[in-house]
């Protein structure tokens, strides 16, 4: 595994002195390539990042380590195989929807992971990657909306879990997990991209709704417009992280 001293070449990578910045996107199905199940999504955010970063003078290789239907517990278990083996300079981490999800169709009444485990897993992931010298960006999960008839029926048959009659009922638990990401990022001094807040803000503009950013009939995953929004936000944050360090290195 790469020694900690590799953090110095990373500081110069944006200026091209040491080649490309290597980025790994670690997440669930909102990160994973969607071509096999949602062909209308031509590019997920990791696909568009290299091109979006190029105008900032940042040459990047982006590895998509998203796997659908996974939680931070599974991410932690596969961290060595899927992330650390790539020797990333920067890792983007986005989880929460599956961690907070209740498998009501399987007779469950509690989230897959408690919020305390969710926070602990995020911190464990960050701790391991920081030891390697990688930098980190945490992203909140995107909000959801009731759209899939299967889940509407499943939760309507189990009142008291998620309210299918309330527009934000599907986010009742996810709200807390998104807040956990913000608090972990703040307490651990990690860069944050607040996707959840951005989607909600988008919906406050007259004539717009969160459904504009989610797959029709799904209501959980970002559509192409949603992926593009995430890419723009993430691009700006990464450029902000790299450009100042490059400038400092160029002018000691």
Other Cβ atoms closer than 10 A to 156: 15
pTM of the model: 0.90
Mean pLDDT of 168-176: 98
Bridge partner list, 133: none
Tokens linked to 228:
């593009």
Mean pLDDT of 96-114: 97
Q: Which domains does the chain have, with CATH numbers?
A: 4-250 (3.40.50.1110)
Residue 12 predicted with pLDDT over 70:
no
Per-residue pLDDT, 243:
73
Q: For a pLDDT cut of 70, what percent of the chain falls above it? A: 89
Phi/psi for 60 (5° steps) reads -135, 145
Tokens linked to 43:
């590019």
Which of 78-87, 175-184, 213-222, 236-245 bottoms out in mean pLDDT, i.e. has the lowest?
236-245
Say what the alpha-carbon torsion angle 238, 240, 243, 245 is, to the nearest 10 degrees: -90
């Amino acid at each position: 595994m790469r020694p900690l001293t590799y953090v110095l070449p990373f500081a110069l990578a944006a200026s091209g002195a040491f080649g490309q910045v290597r980025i790994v996107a670690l997440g669930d199905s909102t990160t994973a390539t969607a071509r096999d199940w949602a062909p209308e999504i031509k590019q997920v955010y990791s696909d568009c990042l290299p091109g979006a970063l190029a105008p900032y003078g940042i040459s990047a290789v982006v590895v998509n380590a998203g796997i659908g239907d996974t939680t931070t517990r599974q991410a932690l278990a596969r961290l060595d195989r899927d992330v650390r083996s790539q020797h990333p300079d920067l890792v983007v981490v986005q989880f929460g929807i599956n961690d907070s999800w209740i498998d009501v169709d399987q007779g469950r009444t509690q989230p897959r992971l408690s919020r305390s485990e969710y926070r602990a897993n995020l911190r464990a992931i960050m701790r391991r990657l920081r030891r390697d010298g990688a930098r980190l960006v945490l992203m909140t999960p995107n909000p959801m909306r009731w759209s899939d008839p299967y889940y509407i029926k499943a939760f309507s048959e189990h009142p008291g879990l998620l309210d299918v009659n309330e527009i934000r009922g599907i986010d009742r638990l996810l709200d807390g997990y998104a807040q956990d990401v913000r608090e972990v990022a703040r307490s651990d001094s990690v860069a944050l991209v607040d996707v959840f807040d951005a989607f909600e803000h988008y919906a406050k503009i007259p004539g717009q709704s969160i459904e504009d950013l989610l797959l029709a009939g799904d209501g959980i995953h970002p559509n192409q417009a949603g992926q593009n929004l995430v890419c723009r936000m993430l691009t700006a944050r990464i450029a902000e992280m790299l450009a100042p360090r490059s400038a400092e290195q160029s002018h000691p």
